[in-house]
């Protein structure tokens, strides 16, 4: 497995875990906390897109 695929999997996994945590907080603890953690998902995906596109541009 190359580094690009591993990094892509890590970013997607982190976003998915954040989504699951958000849903759990929404239903079990507090809706506001669930919304706050839910905002992490697009941020993690955007950060991943920046890093992964930067790596492609460098030829890695």
pLDDT tens for each residue of 8-53:
999 999 999 999 999 999 999 999 999 999 999 999 999 999 998 8
pLDDT confidence of residue 10:
93
Instruction: Yes or no: say if 47 and 31 are a contact pair by the CB < 8 Å rule.
Output: no
| Domain ranges (residues) in the chain | 3-57
Please say if the pLDDT value at position 60 is more than 80. no
């Amino acid at each position: 497995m190359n580094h690009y695929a591993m990094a892509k999997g890590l970013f997607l996994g982190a976003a998915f875990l954040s989504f699951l945590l958000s849903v759990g907080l929404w239903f079990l603890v507090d809706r506001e906390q669930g919304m706050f953690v839910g905002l992490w998902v697009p941020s993690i995906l955007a950060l991943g897109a920046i890093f992964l596109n930067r790596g492609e541009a460098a030829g890695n």
